[in-house]
Structure 1
Amino acid sequence: MQIEFYKYQGTGNDFVMIDNRLGAFPKEDTKLVAHLCDRRFGIGGDGLILLENDPESDFKMVYYNSDGSQSTMCGNGGRCLVAFAKKLKVIGDSTTFMAVDGLHHASVNKDGIVSLQMIDVLNIKKESDYTFLDTGSPHHVQLVDDLENYNVKEKGAAIRYSELYGKQGSNINFVKKIDATTFSLRTYERGVEDETLACGTGATAVAIAMNATGKTDATSIDLNVEGGKLAVSFDKKDNNYTNVFLKGPAEFVFEGTIKV
């Protein structure tokens, strides 16, 4: 079987994109998905995303982790899928699409920056040494010293697999405050089981967690990730976060076919 694919990346978070509007892709073949995401024997990517038809919106997003498992929402993947949909002429400069966590609105500006509306965040667990919240995917957020030299893979895996999060696990974000409106973060992603260069739902979680815990009063926050820069804005009323937007680049890398 020949599969036509497209490769996209958003701040170094990279994805295999497949136009599945005709329904030809074998969606239950998790080994195939893992093979396509393999960086040595396949195409390579932090995840694989199918663009499908949807009766209620412009298109549907189906997201797989690089291990082949279907996953919760991926923010950078969603932004890249919007850019892909525009390339396919499925949409123009704005869209509404369906993902696993519901409908999302997004827009693309003339410079290729994609702004994606994320889900509202109404429940935040604040502990003395970490914060936990769901921004479409579950995220553990904690401040650390010496972020640049921190062993993200080892420390992240230890928390991800700990009794704190059980079998489901969580994504783990380590954070450093830069100034009143800027934070740096590094993320261990479940499903990838390693550090990634960026995580959109993670950047969103960090921005909201830093505001919720009083580390910033800003409602528009810049995030330095290993692969570049993202921005998150939101409205806050009481302890509820609404009108949440994740903004950053989403770039086409290459396209091709692979025989499997």
Structure 2
Amino acid sequence: MRIPFIKMHGLGNDFIMLDAREAELPTLSEQSAAALANRRSGVGCDQLILLERSSSADFRMRIFNSDGGEVEACGNAARAVALLHGEPAKVETGGGIIELSPTQGGARVDMGFPRFEWDSIPLDYAMDTGAMPVSWEMLNNPSAVNVGNPHVIFFVRDCEEIPLDRLGPEIENDPLFPERINVNVADVRDGAINLRVWERGAGLTKACGTGACATAVAAIRKGLVTSPVRVRLPGGELNIEWADGESIIMEGPATEAFRGSFEWADYA
């Protein structure tokens, strides 16, 4: 069975897009998702996105990280989906309903409301999520925010100095985070945020839309920046708007790279 795909990216965070809204595909397993995501023997991606029919929204977006694990949300993929869909839509995700609208070269996405309660992150036990009394070497007192998926955010002097390739997996898999965690290190300069992200199940990526949202919300809550704020990632910039009691608005680019097909049996 030959399956068409579309390769897209948002600021270098890249995706395999599979569209099953019109015709159903065979069941996608974690093993198949990981095999397709492999950059040597598969198509290669940070996340695989499966679009399906939905009874509660215009359609459903399922997200599989490069290790094959399914996760709740992906902001960069949401912009890519908006570009692919071509018109405003309400989209069902594992983290809730999001609203997206294509713009010139990208999209504007309503990511929904952030959550701050310790059991909504979730954490293993109760604590203040605004300044958590925990540390890993030079990283300490982070904030935690759930924006459809869980994030922990460390504000540091210079995010480039942090060995995130080493500390990221240690923090991601700490027992404090029963569903694992996305790890963000950020610094604030000239009213903008510089950000690097270790993504749960994917590792270091050039950009993370939900990480930009979570970090912007945490920085606004701490009074470090004002909304709207530019978030600078290795792959480029996103604009994030948020005020207390309101939903998060993310705006930025997305790009279609190429289209192709693969034989389903090769990855089953």
- After TM superposition, the score normalised by the length of structure 1 is 0.89
Residues 1-260 of structure 1: matches in 2 within 5 Å? 1-22=1-22, 24-86=24-86, 92=87, 94-109=88-103, 111-123=104-116, 125-127=129-131, 129-166=141-178, 168-180=179-191, 182-192=192-202, 194-216=203-225, 218-236=226-244, 240=245, 242-259=246-263, 260=266
- The answer to whether the 8 Å contact 2:109/2:250 transfers is yes
Give structure 1 regions of 4+ aligned residues with deviation exceeding 3 angstroms.
Answer: none
SS of the residue aligned with 2:252? Answer: strand
Contact 2:193 2:231 in 1 (8 A): yes
Contact 2:96 2:148 in 1 (8 A): no
What is the alpha-carbon distance in structure 2 between the residues aligned to residue 173 and residue 26 of structure 1? 35
Alpha carbons of structure 1 residues 72 and 122: separation in structure 2 relative to 1, 3 Å? closer
Offset, 1:81: 1.3
SS in 2 for 1:123: coil
Q: What is the total number of aligned residue pairs between the two structures?
A: 245
Q: Match for 1:63: what amino acid?
A: I
Q: Would you say the 8 A contact 1:140–1:171 is kept in 2?
A: yes
Quick one: distance in 2 between partners of 1:235 and 1:146? 26
SS of 1:224's equivalent in the other structure is: strand
Identity percentage of aligned residues: 31
Q: Tell me the alpha carbon deviations over residues 88-122 of structure 1, each in whole angstroms, 9 at most, x when there is no partner.
A: xxxx3x2212111222111112x222011012124
CA contact (8 A) 1:73 1:137 kept: yes
The answer on whether the counterparts of 1:49 and 1:61 sit within 8 Å (CA) in structure 2 is yes
Q: Structure 1, residues 20-65: CA drift from partner, whole Å, max 9, x if none? A: 1245323342211111111111111111111112233221111111
1:148, CA displacement in angstroms? Answer: 2.1
Deviation at 1:187, TM superposition (A): 0.2
In 2, the alpha carbon distance for the partners of 1:103 and 1:24 equals: 22
Question: What is the rounded CA distance, in whole Å, between the counterparts of 1:81 and 1:163 in structure 2?
Answer: 33
2:124 corresponds to which residue?
none
What is the rounded CA distance, in whole Å, between the counterparts of 2:52 and 2:115 in structure 1? 30
Q: Distance in 2 between matches of 1:256 and 1:101?
A: 29
5+ residue gaps in structure 1? 87-91
Match of 2:136 in 1: none
- Structure 2 residue ranges without an equivalent (≥5): 118-128, 133-140
